[in-house]
Amino acid sequence: MSLEVAVALVILYLVWGSTYLAIKIAVEELPPYLMLAVRFGIAGTIMYAYSRMRGAANPSGRQWLGSAAVGVLLLVGGMGSVGLAQAFGAPSGLAAVMIATMPLWLTLLLALGGERTNRRDYVAMALGIVGVLLLNLDSGLRSNPVAALLLLLSPFSWALGSALSRKLPQAAGGMGSAAQMLAAGALFVPLGLVRGESLDAWPSVGPALALAYLVVFGSLIGFSAYVYLLNQRVRPALMTSYAYVNPVVAVLLGAWFAGERLTLPALAGMTVIVLSVLAIVRAAPRGD
């Protein structure tokens, strides 16, 4: 595994794991879809301007369309569906378990396209799902049919967007990330308005800082790290191992900052997740 890939993975492990707490704080005063529109609109604009300043070419029409399709699948279908499912009453534990199935979906989709995965990766991914299930055993894994359908859609949409990003025309580097975030941010606006959301007042300091954290760390840094791993064609099991680590980081931060209780099943789940990720990393070829 190269140093660049290792750094990108650590960013996804820590930064995206911390966004659970940041989102929880932000949506205390900000409506979820319009919050996502602001988050990705600002992050995409900053990334676009920065890329242009560094001499990146403006994406062609085909690249804009390709990036828009990928951005909508990743950020609207993947991330937005989770927020909407929780608005319909899905507990966060069930959301975490369903999101943890995304590596399996991506591996299967890429296998259909000719990218094979060894049996050890499948075993490690299954172990990771078991770990996330244990981690959330005490959270009351129940939901209604609409929420359950959205939670099935979310990991599949994210996996499909990740797989198509290797096939569809994309702008290189940060410009590709910018185009994806701008497309998703634009779509979140009408979706939020349809849901009756509005931004009537400026949020207080806590939610405003949480939104700023999501823009800078969650989107500019975290999402760019994920797009980098996609472009490097890293093994899907390794690239998506963050889906198992993020709930661990979220639970630890919740216990530290929000006083949430750490249970014995949660500790067992963390141990299983660590073992699954170690198995995936140890199986990584030198090129990853």
Distance from first CA to last CA of the chain, Å, rounded?
Answer: 5
Identify the pLDDT of residue 179.
94
H helices of the chain, in order, are: 3-11, 17-26, 32-53, 61-71, 81-87, 92-99, 102-112, 119-135, 145-164, 173-194, 205-213, 224-231, 236-239, 242-257, 264-282
CA distance 175 to 164: 17
Name the most confidently modeled range: 54-68, 149-163, 271-285. 54-68
Task: List b or e across 88-126, with b for residues whose CB sees 16 or more CB atoms inside 10 angstroms.
Answer: eebbbbbbbbbbbbbbbbbbebbeeeeeebeeebeebbe
81 vs 97, residue with greater confidence: 81
Residues 6+ apart with CB under 8 A from 106: 158, 159, 162, 163, 236, 239, 240
Q: Give residue 98's pLDDT band: very low, low, confident or very high (50, 70, 90).
A: confident
Looking at the chain, the whole-number percentage of residues with pLDDT higher than 90 is 38
> Is the pLDDT score of 100 beyond 70?
yes
Q: How many CB atoms lie within 10 A of CB 4?
A: 12
187 vs 199, residue with greater confidence: 187
> Is the pLDDT score of 116 beyond 90?
no
Residue pLDDT, tens place only, 230-249? 888 788 878 888 888 888 88
Identify the pLDDT of residue 242.
87
Identify the pLDDT of residue 188.
96
Identify the pLDDT of residue 266.
72
Looking at the chain, the whole-number percentage of residues with pLDDT higher than 70 is 88
Identify the pLDDT of residue 259.
67
Identify the pLDDT of residue 121.
74
95 vs 172, residue with greater confidence: 172
CA 275 to chain centre: 22
Residue pLDDT, tens place only, 122-161? 787 788 788 877 766 665 555 567 777 887 888 899 999 9
CA distances to 46, 66, 181 from 13, rounded to whole Å, are: 23, 27, 20
> Is the pLDDT score of 23 beyond 70?
yes
Residue that the structure tokens 């800082």 belong to: 209
Q: How many CB atoms lie within 10 A of CB 242?
A: 27
Structure tokens at 89: 């009453």
